[in-house]
Amino acid sequence: GDSVTQMEGPVTLSEEAFLTINCTYTATGYPSLFWYVQYPGEGLQLLLKATKADDKGSNKGFEATYRKETTSFHLEKGSVQVSDSAVYFCALSDKGQGAQKLVFGQGTRLTINP
Amino acid sequence: DAGVTQSPTHLIKTRGQQVTLRCSPKSGHDTVSWYQQALGQGPQFIFQYYEEEERQRGNFPDRFSGHQFPNYSSELNVNALLLGDSALYLCASSPRSGRSNEQFFGPGTRLTVL
């Protein structure tokens, strides 16, 4: 079945450092890809998404590009802030009528030190 | 505009008991999905409800059941609780129509089984 693999955490960086969180997927067909963020004590928030190959999703300085050839959707940010500390989840879903089930990676905990 | 709401926030049960969790979707949304998030893991899809019927189901036993009401709110029921059912239960809502496949998550209900 479909699956998502994320780089192991936790990841600790200093403020203003460059961030990359790797994500690769296995799926039949061409799924939609997502990055969700979970702040302490809260539910998941959609950070960005891409629905087809070579699409780039971006939001709040974060970017990820849908790479079909490498089945990857790596999350990047040029200069992280303390407020970016959270758990980040990569996810995929099949396309279809309405929202299809999401398949998540195991999550990567990010801590940014001032 | 209220987002997705869930109740209760926390719940403690003992093995063998039954539990009911509740979810109200975001205004304008008619589809509700439930996910189980074990500690340190990514969410796992349980099932999805639309038009008061279960439309998709993940790999969960029949002890997990649900219901959707005419006002689109939903309940998740778990019978014969096991220690392994301890987790954060997340509800997500989405619109069935339209091209967006984004799901909006609630804050979750943390269930502890003793």
DSSP string spanning A13-57? EETT--EEE-EEEE-SS--EEEEEEE-TT--EEEEEEE-STT-EE
Residue A81 has pLDDT above 90, yes or no: yes
Cα dihedral A86→A8→B112→B92 (10° resolution): 60
Residue A85 has pLDDT above 70, yes or no: yes
Candidates A84, A92, A89; CA nearest to A106 is A89
* Predicted local confidence at residue B84, as pLDDT: 97
**Is residue B68 within 8 angstroms of chain A, CB to CB?**
no
Count of A–B CB contacts within 8 Å? 68
* Predicted local confidence at residue A13, as pLDDT: 96
Question: Average pLDDT in the A2-31 region?
Answer: 93
Chain B's closest residue to A95, CA to CA, is B101
What is the end-to-end Cα distance of chain A in Å, rounded? Answer: 41
| β-strand pairing of B64-68 with A102-104 | unpaired
* Predicted local confidence at residue A98, as pLDDT: 64
Task: State whether B107 and A42 contact (CB < 8 Å).
Answer: yes
Task: State whether A44 and B43 contact (CB < 8 Å).
Answer: yes
pLDDT band at residue A70, thresholds of 50, 70 and 90?
A: very high
Task: State whether B101 and A93 contact (CB < 8 Å).
Answer: yes
Task: State whether A101 and B58 contact (CB < 8 Å).
Answer: yes
Chain B residues in contact with A51 (beta carbon < 8 A): 101
Chain A's closest residue to B43, CA to CA, is A104
Question: Average pLDDT in the A99-103 region?
Answer: 85
pLDDT digits (tens, 9 = 90+) for B12-62: 999 999 999 999 999 989 999 999 999 989 999 999 999 999 988 999 999
Chain B residues in contact with A32 (beta carbon < 8 A): 101
- CA gap B31, B103 in Å, rounded: 9
